[in-house]
Amino acid sequence: MSDESMAPIEPEVATPSGNTEPDAPTNWYSSMEIDESTQGYIQSKGWDSPKALLESYRNLEKFKGAPEDRLLTLPEEQLPEHMGEVWNRLGRPETPEGYEVELPEGITLDEARMNSMREFAHQNGISKDAFAKLAKLDAEQQLANQKAYEDSMQAEFQRQETELKNEWGTKYDESIFMAEKGMREMGVDSEAFDVIKYGLGYDGAMKFFQKVASAMGEKALVEGEKRSDFGMTPEQARYEMDQLMAKASSDPQVMSQWEKSTGPDYARYKQLQSIRHGG
């Protein structure tokens, strides 16, 4: 008898169903109502236990860096017509009128310009905070440019005045007096003179009004009216002197200058005295 015939025979173990095949291994989600597609997704991700699934979700939150309600989904085509909701969540107001601006002191609000900026900002998704900063920067630059222009013009006027002094020489004070008289005769106040000065320059404006006053004086001489060398009658000089005295009496600052024999009103009064007495 061979050895093989002597080997013991292992008994078969019966399964509850009567099948002699061993059971297939189970998984942690087999008892759940999960469709095949979802099961395939779990298997492809390698989530072989609930712990693996939780760890994966935890890592996802760390990667996103924010809760779900704070996340944004960008459209595939990031065009203005597709970005409205995203821009609104990032701080864009619902309408252009929602942009508010605080301008620096000294800047006058240009409504047309500001409304144009609001429309542009809204169409391009600029937030309220960003717009406020941009508008303030723009206003400050306008103010700086305006100041730089004014400073350059004042420097130019001073240069022109120096050249005018050289050109008129000893006749400078007399010519300035005549120019100021020409302005008064034509009813040009200080604001109107500033407009003319920016157009003609300081030297051009003073020469123009000096010629106006000289022409008035020549006309008076032709007509036989007695006038001084400056084209003003003594009676006119007396009237203007009275006006200056009244002004000094009502203005403490001017009166203080008169007491010190200084100031433009005092200098003018002395000129009129010379005219009135033919000096």
Residue 223's pLDDT is: 47
| Residues 168/175, Cβ–Cβ less than 8 Å | yes
Residue 83's pLDDT is: 67
**Alpha-carbon span 181 to 190, nearest angstrom:** 13
Residue 100's pLDDT is: 86
Mean pLDDT highest for which of 28-32, 61-65, 207-211? 207-211
Tell me the H-state helices in the chain.
3-6, 36-45, 50-64, 84-89, 111-123, 128-168, 172-185, 190-222, 234-250, 252-259, 264-276
Phi, psi of 215 (to 5 degrees): -65, -40
Residue 21's pLDDT is: 53
Closest CA to 237 of 190, 188, 189, 270: 270
pLDDT at 237 over 60: yes
**Alpha-carbon span 203 to 213, nearest angstrom:** 16
Q: Any idea where the domains of the chain sit in the sequence?
A: 84-146, 233-279
> Token match 């920067």: residue?
137
| Residues 80/125, Cβ–Cβ less than 8 Å | yes
pLDDT at 96 over 60: yes
pTM for this entry: 0.48
Give the gyration radius of the chain's Cα atoms. Answer: 47
> How many degrees, rounded to 5, is the angle at CA 72 between CA 70 and CA 74?
175
When mean pLDDT is compared across 85-89, 154-158, 196-200, 208-212, the lowest value belongs to 85-89
Closest CA to 50 of 64, 35, 30: 30
pLDDT in tens, 183-195: 888 888 888 999 9
pLDDT at 218 over 60: no
